[in-house]
C-alpha cells in the first residue's frame, strides 16, 4: 500500500525528517508515536502534500505510484485521507456543500458515476450516524464555532464519506474528552477493512486503546528509532519518551 524509503524533508532551513523508512500493507494499522517536535505531524503533512515542506531525499510509493509527484488533491483522489490535527475554519463553505464536490471528484476519479442530490443525501445520512454528528452542524460554515470534539467528528465524517484506502489520523485524539474519543475511534474502526490501512499519529497511548495498532513506531529527531507491536505503546506510556531518548543516546 504505502512504501516510504529514506524520506527526508525540511521546512525553510529546518531539516525535520531525517530518513524515514516505513512499509504499510493493506489491512494494517500503524501508530506513529514520539515526543513533541519529533516530526510526527511533519510526516503526516508531507504524505498529504503540504507544500511548505520540501522533500530533500527519499521516495514514497502509494499503490505503486509515486506519491511525491502528485498534488494534494490528486493524492486524495488516489485514496489518501488526512484527518487534520487542527481542522481549519472556512466561513461561507458548509461541510455538505464542499463534500458534495469532493465526493464526486473522488468518484469520478475511480470511474464511478457522480452522485445525484438524493443519493448524496442518503450516503450522508448513513455516515452521519457513524460519528453521531448532526446535520445542522454540517450545514453550517465548516468548523466555524465548532467545539474541538465536533471538529474531530467532522473529520471522521469526511473520512467516511470519501472512503479512502489509507487514512492518516494526525493527533485526532488531541482535545477530545473520553466520550468523544470513543465515538471517533468507533467510527474509524467501523470503516476499517482488509484492503484499507490506517496510520495513527499520536503523542499518547490513549487513542490506541480504542484503535488498536498492529505496529507501533517511535519517531525521534525525524527518524524511526524503535518499532514494535502494540505493547510498545504501553511501554512508552509507562516509561515516558525519555526512555527512548536515552536509549538512542546510548
Partner 1 sequence: MTTNAIDTNPTLLGVSSGAIDSIPSLATLRDETFRHLQEVGFPGPKNEEYKYTPLTRALEKLSLDDQEGTGTVNLADYAIPDLDATVVAFVNEKCVTSLPETEGLIVKPLQEALSEGKGINHFAKIVDAQSDAFVAWNTLAWTYGFYIEVPAGKTLTKPLVILHVSDGAVRKAARNLIVVGRNAQCTVIQMFASTGKGASYVNVVTEGFVDENARLDLYAIQADMPGQIQFNQTRVLQKDNSRVNSYAFTLGGKLVRNNLALALDGQGCESHMYGLYLLNGDTHADNHTVVDHIKPNSFSNELYKGIMDDTSRGVFNGKIYVRPNAQKTNAFQSNRNILLSTDAKVNTKPQLEIWADDVKCSHGCTTGQIDEDALFYLMARGIPRSTARAMLLYAFAGETIDAVSLPPVQQYLAQRVSQRLQRNDF
What is the binding site for partner 1 (CB under 8 A)? 48-51, 71-73, 75-77, 81-82, 84, 87-88, 90-93, 97-99, 101-102, 105-106, 109, 141, 158, 162
Which of residues 157 and 215 has its CB atom nearest to partner 1 in the complex? 157
Q: If you search the block for the grid coordinates 454540517, which residue do you land on?
A: 138
Which of residues 53 and 215 has its CB atom nearest to partner 1 in the complex? 53
Q: How far is the CB of 105 from partner 1 (least distance, A)?
A: 4
Q: What's the residue count for the chain? A: 250
Phi, psi values for residue 102, rounded to 5°: -65, -45
Which of residues 51 and 242 has its CB atom nearest to partner 1 in the complex? 51
Which of residues 15 and 141 has its CB atom nearest to partner 1 in the complex? 141
Q: How far is the CB of 77 from partner 1 (least distance, A)?
A: 5
Which of residues 145 and 240 has its CB atom nearest to partner 1 in the complex? 145
Q: How far is the CB of 119 from partner 1 (least distance, A)?
A: 18
Q: How far is the CB of 170 from partner 1 (least distance, A)?
A: 11
- 144 Cβ contact list (under 8 Å, min separation 6): 89, 90, 91
Residue-wise over 122-153: b if at least 16 C-beta within 10 A, else e? ebbeebbebbebeeebbebebbeebeebbbbb
Q: How far is the CB of 220 from partner 1 (least distance, A)?
A: 27
Which of residues 97 and 174 has its CB atom nearest to partner 1 in the complex? 97
Q: How far is the CB of 93 from partner 1 (least distance, A)?
A: 5
Q: How far is the CB of 225 from partner 1 (least distance, A)?
A: 28
Which of residues 88 and 249 has its CB atom nearest to partner 1 in the complex? 88
Amino acid at each position: 500500500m504505502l512504501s516510504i524509503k529514506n524520506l527526508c524533508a525540511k521546512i525553510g532551513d529546518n531539516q525535520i525528517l531525517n530518513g524515514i523508512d516505513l512499509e504499510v500493507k493493506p489491512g494494517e494499522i500503524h501508530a506513529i508515536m514520539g515526543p513533541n517536535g519529533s516530526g510526527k505531524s511533519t510526516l503526516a503533512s508531507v504524505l498529504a502534500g503540504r507544500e511548505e515542506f520540501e522533500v530533500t531525499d527519499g521516495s514514497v510509493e502509494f499503490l505503486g505510484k509515486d506519491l511525491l509527484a502528485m498534488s494534494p488533491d490528486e493524492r486524495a483522489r488516489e485514496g489518501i485521507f488526512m484527518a487534520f490535527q487542527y481542522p481549519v475554519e472556512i466561513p461561507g463553505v458548509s461541510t455538505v456543500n464542499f463534500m458534495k464536490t469532493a465526493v464526486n471528484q473522488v468518484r469520478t476519479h475511480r470511474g464511478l458515476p457522480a452522485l445525484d442530490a438524493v443519493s448524496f443525501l442518503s450516503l450522508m445520512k448513513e455516515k452521519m450516524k457513524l460519528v453521531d454528528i448532526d446535520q445542522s452542524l454540517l450545514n453550517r460554515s465548516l468548523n466555524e464555532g465548532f467545539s474541538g470534539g465536533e471538529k474531530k467528528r467532522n473529520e471522521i465524517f469526511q473520512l467516511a464519506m470519501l472512503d479512502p484506502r489509507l487514512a492518516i489520523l494526525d493527533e485526532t485524539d488531541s482535545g477530545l474528552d473520553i466520550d468523544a474519543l470513543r465515538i471517533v475511534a468507533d467510527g474509524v474502526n467501523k470503516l476499517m477493512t482488509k484492503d484499507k490501512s490506517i496510520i495513527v499519529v499520536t503523542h499518547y497511548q490513549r487513542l490506541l486503546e480504542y484503535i488498536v495498532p498492529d505496529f507501533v513506531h517511535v519517531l525521534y529527531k525525524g527518524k524511526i528509532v524503535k518499532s514494535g507491536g502494540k505493547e510498545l505503546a504501553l511501554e512508552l506510556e509507562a516509561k515516558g519518551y525519555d526512555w527512548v531518548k536515552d536509549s538512542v543516546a546510548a
